[in-house]
Amino acid sequence: MTATLERPSAPVVSKKRTITPARAALHAFLILTCLMTLAPLLWAVYASLRTYEDTSVNGYFSVAKSLTLANFAKAWEIGDLPHFYLNTFLITVPALVLTLLLSSMVAFGVSRFSFKLNLVLLMIFTAGNLLPQQVIVTPLWRLYRLIEVPEWISASGSLIDSQLGVILIHIAFQSGFCTFVLSNYMKTIPYELTEAARVDGASVFRQYWQLTLPLCRPVLAALATLEFTWIYNDFLWALVLIQDGDKMPVTSALQNLKGTFFTDNNLIAAGSLLVALPTLVVFFVLQRQFVGGLTLGSTKG
Partner 1 sequence: MTALQEKPKAVAPSGPPPRRRGKRATALAGTDKLVLAIMLGIPTIVHLLFVWIPTLGSIALSFSRWNGIGGFEDIEWIGVENYVEIFTEYPRFWPAVQHNLIWLAFLLVVPTCAGLLLAVLLDRELRFSRIYQSALYMPMVLSLALIGFIWQLIYTPDGGLLNSVLGLDKPVDWIGDSDINLYAVLVAAAWRHTGYIMLLYLAGLKGVDPSLKEAAALDGASATQTFFRVTFPVMKPVNIVVAVVTVIEALRAFDIVYVINKGRNGLELLSVLVTDNIIGEASRIGRGSAVAVILLTISLGVIIPYLYQTFSKENRT
Partner 2 sequence: MVRYTPGSSPLPHFGRRAMLRIMLAGAGVAATGGLAACGGGSSSGGDSKVVTFGNNLSDQVPKDAITAALKGFDAQSGGYSVTINTKQHEQYQEQINNYLQGKPDDVLAWFAGYRMRFFADQGLTGDLSDLWGKIGGNYSDALKQASTGSDKKQYFVPFIQYPWGMFYRKSVWQERGYTVPKTLDELVAVSTKMKADGLIPIAFAQKQGWPGMGTFDQLNFRINGYQFHVDLLAGKENWQDKKVKDVFDTWKRLLPFHQENALGREWQEAAQALQQKKAGMYLLGSFVGQQFPDADKDDLDFFPFPEINPEHGTDTVEAPIDGYMMAKKPANKDGALKLLEYLASPEPQLAYLKADPNSIATNTKADTSGYSALQKKSAEVIKSAKHITQFLDRDTDPGFASEAATNGLIAFIKNPDDIDSVLKGMADQAKNIFK
Which residues are near partner 2 by CB under 8 A?
56-57, 78, 94, 97-98, 100-102, 141, 145-153, 155-161, 164, 167-168, 171, 193, 209-211, 213-215, 217, 220-221, 224, 239-240, 243-246, 248, 252, 255-256, 259-263
Q: What is the DSSP letter of 148?
A: B
Which of partner 2, partner 1, none is residue 76 near (CB under 5 to 8 Å by kind)?
A: none
Contact 84, 78 (CB under 8 A): no
Task: Please list, in sequence order, all residues whose beta carbon lies within 8 angstroms of the beta carbon of residue 73, skipping any fewer than 6 positions away.
Answer: none
Residues 145 to 184 in contact with partner 1, rule: CB under 8 A? 168-169, 171-173, 175-176, 179
Which of partner 2, partner 1, none is residue 33 near (CB under 5 to 8 Å by kind)?
A: partner 1
Contact 165, 159 (CB under 8 A): yes
Residues 263 to 292 in contact with partner 1, rule: CB under 8 A? 265, 268-269, 272, 275-276, 279-280, 282-284, 287, 290-291
d(CA 170, CA 166): 6
Which of partner 1, partner 2, none is residue 193 near (CB under 5 to 8 Å by kind)?
A: partner 2
d(CA 37, CA 63): 22
Strand-pairing partners, residue 148, are 158
Angle at which helix 163-187 crosses helix 217-232, to 10 degrees, equals 150
Question: Looking at 17, 18, 150, 200, which residue binds partner 1 (CB under 8 A)?
Answer: 17
Question: Looking at 64, 70, 97, 136, which residue binds partner 1 (CB under 8 A)?
Answer: 136
Which of partner 2, partner 1, none is residue 110 near (CB under 5 to 8 Å by kind)?
A: partner 1
Binding mask 180-219 for partner 1 (x = CB under 8 A): ----------xx--xx--x----xxx--x-----------
What Rg do the C-alpha atoms of the chain give, in angstroms?
Answer: 24
Segment contacting partner 1 (CB under 8 A): 29-37, 71-79, 81-89, 150-158? 29-37
Identity of the residue, 216 or 273, whose beta carbon is nearer to partner 2 in the bound complex: 216
Residues 54 to 73 in contact with partner 1, rule: CB under 8 A? 55, 59-61
d(CA 292, CA 299): 10
d(CA 45, CA 213): 41
Q: What is the DSSP letter of 161?
A: T
Contact 286, 65 (CB under 8 A): no
